[in-house]
Chains A and B, each alone.
Chain A
Amino acid sequence: DTGVSQDPRHKITKRGQNVTFRCDPISEHNRLYWYRQTLGQGPEFLTYFQNEAQLEKSRLLSDRFSAERPKGSFSTLEIQRTEQGDSAMYLCASSGGGNYGYTFGSGTRLTVV
């Protein structure tokens, strides 16, 4: 499969726990993005990497959220001390730059109970 892979597909966690999601982008894509989507809304930008450098972070990304892309390949998104408001679909996307749009992964659906 040469698309964007995300793991896990679903995560149910208790409030206060930490969770970590992984994204494997398309191998030749140097740009990687994390978005969050809730029901009835479009995806909201969280953060963006070009290779291993995190170039942009949204104000939505509070200090409980951290993202890494250590070798410029896969990325992880960690949420510490989860809250019920963190329940959402977390989408990863990659692109090769230019004006070609993104390829999204299938997302990780987080439910905080």
Chain B
Amino acid sequence: RKEVEQDPGPFNVPEGATVAFNCTYSNSASQSFFWYRQDCRKEPKLLMSVYSSGNEDGRFTAQLNRASQYISLLIRDSKLSDSATYLCVVNLHTGGFKTIFGAGTRLFVKA
């Protein structure tokens, strides 16, 4: 089992749609969580941190459920420019250091 698993995608949605991505992690020592966005052939860029209380940044909402070891990202009112791969990221603090990236979920937003 992979340490971080994401919806395989791709997700094909029309402009204006609401889309949700899920991510599960296996290591209960996971301490901090992020969503990154990666455009084709570009580097990943930090989209938002994920907090237990949930957090929102404009059209984007991230949720964390530690009990279920589950993270989600909700995008409302999708734009064409949201088309990208969304990477779920988990930091482990287990004496050493380890940051694990999921394989990503591809999103295509169409006009």
Residues of A within 8 A of B (CB): 33, 35, 40-45, 48, 55-56, 91, 99-107
A42-B103, A42-B104, A56-B96 known; A101-B43 Cβ under 8 A? no
Q: How far is the CB of A91 from chain B (nearest CB, A)?
A: 6
CB distance A42 to B34 under 8 Å? no
Q: How far is the CB of A105 from chain B (nearest CB, A)?
A: 6
CB distance B103 to A41 under 8 Å? yes
How far is B32's CA from A102's CA once the two chains are assembled, in angstroms? 12
CB distance A91 to B43 under 8 Å? yes
Residues of B within 8 A of A (CB): 4, 32, 34, 36, 42-46, 49, 87, 89, 91, 96-104
Q: How far is the CB of B100 from chain A (nearest CB, A)?
A: 7
CB distance B97 to A55 under 8 Å? yes
| Contact for A101 among B42, B46, B96, B100, CB less than 8 A | B46
Across-interface contacts of B32 in A (CB, < 8 A): 99
Q: How far is the CB of B57 from chain A (nearest CB, A)?
A: 13
CB distance A104 to B100 under 8 Å? no
CB distance A106 to B42 under 8 Å? yes
| Contact for B45 among A33, A56, A99, A104, CB less than 8 A | A104
| Contact for B99 among A33, A40, A55, A106, CB less than 8 A | A33
Across-interface contacts of B91 in A (CB, < 8 A): 99
